[in-house]
Amino acid sequence: MAKKLKKVDVVTVGVGWTGGIIAAELTKQGVQVVGLERGKARSTEDFQHVHDEYRYAIRYELMQDLSRETITFRNHRDERALPMRQLGSFLLGEGLGGAGVHWNGQTWRFLPYDFEIKTKTEEKYGPNKLGSDYTLQDWGITYEELDPYFYKFEQMAGISGEDNPKGAPRNNPYPTPPMKETPITKLFKDAAKNKNLHPVHIPSGNLSERYENPDGQTINQCQYCGFCERFGCEYGAKTSPNVTVIPTAKKTGNFELRTHANVTEILYDGSKATGVKYVDLQTGEEFIQPADVVVLTSYVMNNARLLLQAGIGKPYDPETRTGVIGKNYCYQILPGATGFFEDKKFNTYMGAGALGAAVDDYNGDNFDHSKLDFIHGGVLAISQTGQRPINNNVVPNDTPNWGKEFKAQSIKYYHRNLAIGAQGASIPHRNNYLSLDPDYKDVFGFPLLRMTYDFTEQDRKLHDYLSGKCADIMKEMGADIVEPREIKDHYSIVPYQTTHNTGGVIMGADPETSAVNNYLQMWDADNLFVVGASAFAHNGGYNPTGTVGALAYRAAEGIMKYRENKGQLVKAKAASKRA
Amino acid sequence: MADENTKSTMSRRRFIKNSSYVAGGAIGGGFLGTILGRNVFTDNQQQASPEKNNNANDYNRALMYFTRQKDFDILSAATERIFPEDENGPGAIKLGVPYFIDHQLAGAYGHNDREYMQRPFYPGSDFQGYQTRLKRHEVFMVGIQAIENESQKGFDSSFLDLEDKQKDEILQKFQDGKVDLKGVTPTTFFELLRSATLEGAYSDPLYGGNGNMEGWLMKEYPGNYMSYINDIGKDKFIKKEPKPLRAHFAS
Ligand SMILES: Cc1cc2nc3c(=O)[nH]c(=O)nc-3n(C[C@H](O)[C@H](O)[C@H](O)COP(=O)(O)OP(=O)(O)OC[C@H]3O[C@@H](n4cnc5c(N)ncnc54)[C@H](O)[C@@H]3O)c2cc1C
Ligand code: SF4
């Protein structure tokens, strides 16, 4: 029998970026918060021997242990979904700080266009640009409303950046200047300028200089050590929950962190979430943690799964196109171009997760789509993250992937290849969604989350277009061989792409078509907030966490309001007609 | 030991030859001294047999997983075809890749410890990934035995006695999915073999491959440095003496 604990003000499920932000903001204002994190505690001290590509980047030491829990996957509704038995396409976080420990730190704001994408697309291109299978929706909030929350996140995290003429407009400068210029970023910027584009340094969470944030936490200066993406930072120079919001919450004395605490159920009485049930993974004991406010901060997958399992909110049904939980799951496409240089070697082994340069000229609606048969776009960037030798054996297309020729070419081009990559926006489609798997279970006997997802026609067209643009810049950079990337026949769960999963518990103005309001408060349970990229109504053309962070600050404010006023914080818009 | 010395001199010479180190600068005046004194690691360099080499650091060049020497030899021969010795430098065998794989198969990797291995198992599409009920160590055994069977079938001889070209033909059949395997697809096995070989060639020498960091030397990869902040802006390609993770213990 589960042991019932004393009721607390707020409980969060997971303590990564979103859980950490909620905990810091609320505890600073005197609220008692319990953070339940299924993984172990981690801090900078754990990363002193982290420069090990095999252990961390290949065997995924810091990521989710799939033996307990995974997702199942299929491309189409008429297939049988099978478990993702090994990590691949995306790398789910586990342990204190979540994926915020081993992220790169590229920190963008989504564009004003993103938040009102349906309205703005229809205004400019008419109601039928993509057709009715694409479940495009506004987010129920505007960029102007979100601007202060973006800034809060950037200030807390110390983001290093510069003005971006094609990016979302800013009212404040970045807290720290951009990272260093390198021969690679310079080559890209010069080429982009020659093409009349507007290159900038990538806004970075690997800090250009030592910085103290408004909460008094220090983030150190990045050393460009080349072990960043997939690694924890041995200097405390990569902004992470562990060096910012988690210590801030702890300092207040109002935060109780419980690690090895795996939440298995949200307890729901039909109108409110009364608390959560969790298992202590070290003792096997079960606990019930009652709370006035329950906050899901467990990343996209478990945010959706825990709701589906508890029966909170109506599950999305792609047949009838009704329901909301699991709807608008989106991912990303990765167009790009690789350039091979015969006579030039670059120091690609050096780098930092968010070191690079980018252009937004082909993002959002920054270019005219009247004559194009797709919408949106993506940021085009060259990044210098540190090329390590197991994962980087890039060879021209016609080279085999083993044997004598492979060895020679992969060695030859190791420091002689550069890639420009785009993060292509992902537009929701009625057939891409999350639901519960009918067959496969986690170690506790609960159904796994099932992902049904494939690339769409929109994806293929956008991919072609952006790969072409990347190739144009790469040619201008002087590469001898330029190879644009092609999109695969189907989305595959196997090769790493990005950990930029979005949707499933989306925000909006209308309870018929969205799960949470613009404070990320559930329409169907006033005291339940669901925070993360799960709230994205589509995925924009950037990495998500800048926008996730802004939404988390917004949600924290919502929770404080709810504690005073109770009830729904936003008046629902009358049911709108669905496309 | 004479044998060992020649080898380390050769590799030292190759290293110096392939490199255009600037005296002073980022590397520091102690550079040549460091490389010449790099004895801690020279013993990892070659796949020396235990009788010939009594250096303590070679004790880990023994079998943790395989029970039959022949299976291990077939694995070794296959990895050498994936990553052969050439003008760039040593191949998989000299780098110690077969020992790397043997040791990995004995542990968490070989037993899919952190992976979802619950039933039911169905074949799945190419886009759904690893779906065999076999664990990696079993996949390797099935695959290695199948390599030998294919060799007997096709050439009436052991894989170990084949010409390089014939070995490649057989491996290609696995990559192309043209072999019948029990419990796992030949392409799954081949992809594991291929990726494990590269992992052994280029992982930190702590794992038993990348002997004497020669994998990194070939690629001019410096391994594990704490900081590049003073070099990242520089135009020229900078070569550095590779450092293993073990160097982190020093200070
Ligand atoms: C390799 C990599 C690189 C990335 N690079 C970038 C980048 O450059 N820019 C960018 O914007 N984004 C990047 N991301 C994405 C970024 O890490 C995430 O957007 C961010 O961490 C999401 O925060 P979160 O709080 O929603 O989830 P997480 O940070 O993942 O935290 C969720 C936490 O919840 C815990 N949890 C889950 N389920 C349970 C449960 N049932 N019980 C208890 N605890 C639970 C998990 O263990 C985890 O600690 C990257 C991700 C990866 C993996
Ligand atoms: S590149 Fe910079 S931020 Fe990243 S791990 Fe190294 S020192 Fe830390």
Q: What is the tens place of the pLDDT at every residue in A276-291? A: 999 999 999 999 999 9
Ligand nearest to the CA of A385: 2
What angle separates helix A545-565 from helix A143-157, to the nearest 10 degrees? 110
CB contact under 8 A, B232 and A225: no
Is the pLDDT score of A488 beyond 80? Answer: yes
Give how far A557 is from chain B: nearest CA, Å: 38
- In angstroms, rounded to a whole number, what is the distance separating the alpha carbons of residues A138 and A285? 43
User: Among partner residues A80, A347, A402, which is closest to B237 by beta-carbon distance?
Assistant: A347
From the candidates A189, A402, A446, which should be mutated to test the interface with B, based on the most B CB atoms within 10 A? Answer: A402
Strand-pair partners of A528: A294
State how far the Cα of A572 lies from the Cα of A509, in Å rounded to an integer.
6
Confidence (pLDDT) at A88: 98
Distance A92 CA to ligand 1 centre (A): 6
Q: Which residues pair with A483 in a beta bridge?
A: A338
> Mind telling me how many Å the CA of B111 is from chain A's nearest CA?
11
Pocket test of ligand 1: the residue of A22, A71, A103 to mutate, having most ligand atoms within 8 Å of its CB, is A103
**Least distant ligand from the CA of B228:** 2
CB contact under 8 A, B232 and A53: no
Mean pLDDT of A438-444: 98
Q: Which of B221, B225, B245 to mutate to test the interface with A (most CBs of A within 10 A)?
A: B221
Q: Which two tokens stand for residue A258?
A: 């419980």
Nearest to A66 among B86, B115, B233 (CB): B115
> Domains of chain A: which residue ranges?
3-578
Kindly report the average pLDDT of chain A as a whole number. Answer: 97
Confidence band of B5 (pLDDT split at 50, 70, 90): very low
What b/e readout covers B128-140, taking b as 16+ CB neighbours within 10 angstroms? Answer: bbbbbebbbbbbb
Question: Residue B250's pLDDT band (boundaries 50, 70, 90)?
Answer: low
ipTM value for the complex: 0.96
| CB distance A150 to A546 below 8 Å | yes
Q: How far is the CA of A309 from the centre of ligand 2 (A)?
A: 39
Ligand 2 atom 1: the closest Cα is on which residue? A352
Identity of the residue in B86, B202, B222 whose CB atom sits nearest the CB atom of A404: B86
Q: In which element (H, E) is residue B192 found?
A: helix B186-202
Which of A107, A222, A242 has most ligand 2 atoms within 8 Å of its beta carbon, as the pocket-test mutant?
A: A222
What is residue B249's predicted lDDT score, i.e. its pLDDT? 80
Distance separating alpha carbons of residues A104 and A237, to the nearest angstrom: 12
Gap from B53 CA to chain A (nearest CA, Å): 28
- Supply the pLDDT for residue B44: 39
The lowest-confidence range among A162-176, A199-213, A217-231, B9-23 is B9-23
The answer to whether B182 touches B149, Cβ cutoff 8 Å, is: no
Residue range A480-485: mean pLDDT, rounded: 98
8 Å CB contact between B93 and B79: yes
What mean pLDDT do residues B125-142 have? 97
Q: Which residues 518-577 of A have a C-beta within 8 angstroms of B? A: none
**Best substitution site from A43, A225, A348, A384 to test ligand 2's pocket, by max atoms within 8 Å of Cβ?**
A225
Residue A251 main-chain phi, psi, to 5 deg: -55, -30
Contact between residue A86 and residue A260 where contact means Cβ atoms under 8 Å apart: no
Centroid of ligand 2 to alpha carbon of A205 (angstroms): 9
pLDDT digits (tens, 9 = 90+) for A7-18: 999 999 999 999
Locate the ligand 1 atom nearest the alpha carbon of residue A534 and give its number.
Answer: 26
For A203-248, write each residue's pLDDT tens digit.
999 999 999 999 999 999 999 999 999 999 999 999 999 999 999 9
Closest ligand 1 atom to the C-alpha of A532? 26
Kindly list the protein residues whose Cβ atom lies closer than 6 A to any atom of ligand 1: A 13-19, 36-39, 91, 93-95, 98-100, 102-107, 229-230, 262-263, 297-299, 302, 353-354, 499, 532-533, 543-546, 548
What does DSSP say about strands A356-359 and A336-340: parallel, antiparallel, or unpaired? Answer: unpaired
For residue A50, which atom of ligand 2 is closest to its CA? 5
Q: Is the pLDDT of residue B81 over 90?
A: yes
Q: What is the dihedral of CA A165, A167, A172, A173, to 10 degrees?
A: -70
Q: Which residues of A touch B245 (CB under 8 A)?
A: 49, 51-52
Buried b (16+ CB within 10 A) or exposed e, A105-142: bbbbbbbbbbbbbbebbeeebeeebbeeebbbbbbbbe
pLDDT of residue B17: 38
CA distances from B145 to A370, B150, B168 (A): 60, 9, 16
pLDDT higher than 60, residue B10: no
CA dist A56 and B189 (Å) reads: 23
- Asked if residues A207 and A168 have their Cβ atoms less than 8 Å apart, the reply is no
DSSP A59-127: S-TTB--TTT--EEEESSTTSPPEE--S--SS--B-STTGGGSS---B-----HHHHTHHHHHHHHH-T
Backbone conformation region of residue B28, classed left if phi is above 0, alpha if psi is from -120 to 50, else beta: left
Q: How confident is the model at residue B57 (pLDDT cuts 50, 70, 90)?
A: low
Peptide bond into B186 cis (omega under 30): no
Task: Kindly tell me if the per-residue pLDDT of A481 is higher than 70.
Answer: yes
Residue A177 has pLDDT above 50, yes or no: yes
A77 at B interface, C-beta within 8 A: no
Q: Which pLDDT belongs to residue A575?
A: 59
B134 contacts in A (CB within 8 Å)?
none
Q: Is the pLDDT of residue B224 over 80?
A: yes
Which residues from A are below 8 Å from B166, CB to CB? none
Whether the CB-CB separation of A239 and A233 falls below 8 Å is answered with no
Distance B194 CA to ligand 2 centre (A): 30
Q: Best substitution site from A103, A180, A206, A210 to test ligand 2's pocket, by max atoms within 8 Å of Cβ?
A: A206
What is the sign of the dihedral through the CA atoms of A457, A461, A464 and A470?
A: negative
Beta-sheet strands, E only, within A426-558: 433-441, 447-452, 481-484, 502-504, 521-522, 525-530
Read off the pLDDT of each residue in A543-553 and give the average, rounded to a whole number.
Answer: 98
Residue B67, Cβ density class (10 Å: 0-12 exposed, 13-18 middle, ≥19 buried): exposed
Q: Which fold has domain A3-578?
A: FAD/NAD(P)-binding domain (3.50.50)
pLDDT band at B7 (very low <50, low <70, confident <90, very high): very low
Which amino acid is present at B237?
A: F
pLDDT of residue A530: 99
The confidence score (pLDDT) of residue B63 equals 97
Q: What is the mean pLDDT of residues A117-137?
A: 97
Taken in order B28, B216, A480, B84, is the CA torsion positive or negative?
positive
DSSP notation for A452-484: E----HHHHHHHHHHHHHHHHHHHHTT-SEEEE
Name the pLDDT band for A198 (thresholds 50, 70, 90). Answer: very high
Distance A17 CA to ligand 1 centre (A): 7
> Nearest-5° angle of CA A208, CA A212, CA A216?
160
Please tell me the number of the ligand nearest to residue A355's CA: 2
Say if A441 is an interface residue toward chain B (CB within 8 Å).
yes
Secondary structure, 3-state, B91-155: CHHHHCHHHHHHHHHHCCCCCCCCCCCCCCCCCCCHHHCCCCCCCHHHHHHHHHHHHHHHHHHHH
* In chain A, % of residues over pLDDT 70: 99
Dihedral angle sign, alpha carbons of residues A388, A389, A390, A393: positive
Query: Residues 6 or more apart from A3 whose CB is under 8 A from it?
Result: A285, A286, A287, A288
Query: Looking at A214-285, which runs of residues are DSSP E strands?
Result: 218-219, 255-258, 261-268, 273-280
Could you tell me if B223 and B244 are in contact, meaning their C-beta atoms sit under 8 angstroms apart?
yes
pLDDT band at A46 (very low <50, low <70, confident <90, very high): very high
CA-only gyration radius of chain A, Å: 23
Q: What is the pLDDT of residues B147-164, one digit of tens each?
A: 999 999 999 999 999 999
**Which amino acid is residue B184, in one-letter code?**
V
Q: Rounded to the nearest 10 degrees, what angle do helices B97-106 and B186-202 cross at?
A: 110
Query: Does the pLDDT of residue A512 top 60, yes or no?
Result: yes
Binned at pLDDT 50, 70 and 90, residue B55 comes out as very low
Q: pLDDT value at position A171?
A: 97
pLDDT of residue A579: 37
Is there an atom of ligand 2 within 6 Å of A200 CB? no
Q: Which two tokens stand for residue B84?
A: 């052969």
Q: Which chain B residue lies closest to A445 (C-alpha atoms)?
A: B118
Instruction: Write the pLDDT tens digit of every residue in B100-122.
Output: 999 999 999 999 999 999 999 99
Return the residue whose CA atom lies nearest to atom 46 of ligand 1.
Answer: A94
The pLDDT of residue A569: 97
In this prediction, residue B37 carries a pLDDT of: 35
What residues in B contact A401, CB-CB < 8 Å? 194
State the ligand closest to the CA atom of A65: 1
Which residue has its alpha carbon closest to ligand 1 atom 50? A103
- Is a pLDDT exceeding 50 seen at residue B50? no
**Greater pLDDT, B51 or A115:** A115
pTM above 0.90, yes or no: yes
In angstroms, rounded to a whole number, what is the distance separating the alpha carbons of residues A204 and A351?
A: 12
Write out chain B residues lying below 8 Å of A79, CB-based.
Answer: 125
Nearest CA in chain A to B84: A404
Residues 137-176 of A with CB under 8 A from B: none
Mean pLDDT score of chain B: 83
Whether the predicted pLDDT of B4 surpasses 80: no
Q: Looking at the complex, report in whole angstroms how far the Cα of residue B198 sits from the nearest Cα belonging to chain A.
A: 6
> Looking at the CA of A287, which ligand is closest?
1
Structure-block tokens of residue A314? 């109506």
Helix ranges (H only) for A374-444 are: 403-412
CA–CA distance, A240 with A226 (Å, rounded to integer): 17
pLDDT tens string A370-429: 999 999 999 999 999 999 999 999 999 999 999 999 999 999 999 999 999 999 999 999
Residue B42: pLDDT band by 50, 70, 90 thresholds? very low
Q: How confident is the model at residue B248 (pLDDT cuts 50, 70, 90)?
A: confident
- Ligand 2 centroid distance, CA of A455 (Å): 33
Q: Is the dihedral of CA B43, B44, B48, B54 positive or negative?
A: positive
**Tokens 């006035």 label which residue?**
A292
pLDDT grade, residue A333 (50/70/90)?
Answer: very high
A497 contacts chain B (CB < 8 A): no
Q: What is the C-alpha separation between A546 and A536, in angstroms, rounded? A: 12
Average pLDDT over residues A449-464: 98
Exposure string of A386-395, with b = 16+ CB inside 10 Å and e = fewer, is bbbbbbbbbb
Tokens of B231: 């070099």
Q: What is the rounded average pLDDT of the residues A62-78?
A: 98
Measured CA to CA, the distance from residue A223 to residue A98 in angstroms comes to 23
Contacts of B127 in chain A (CB under 8 A): 75, 490-494
Residues of A classed as catalytic: 500
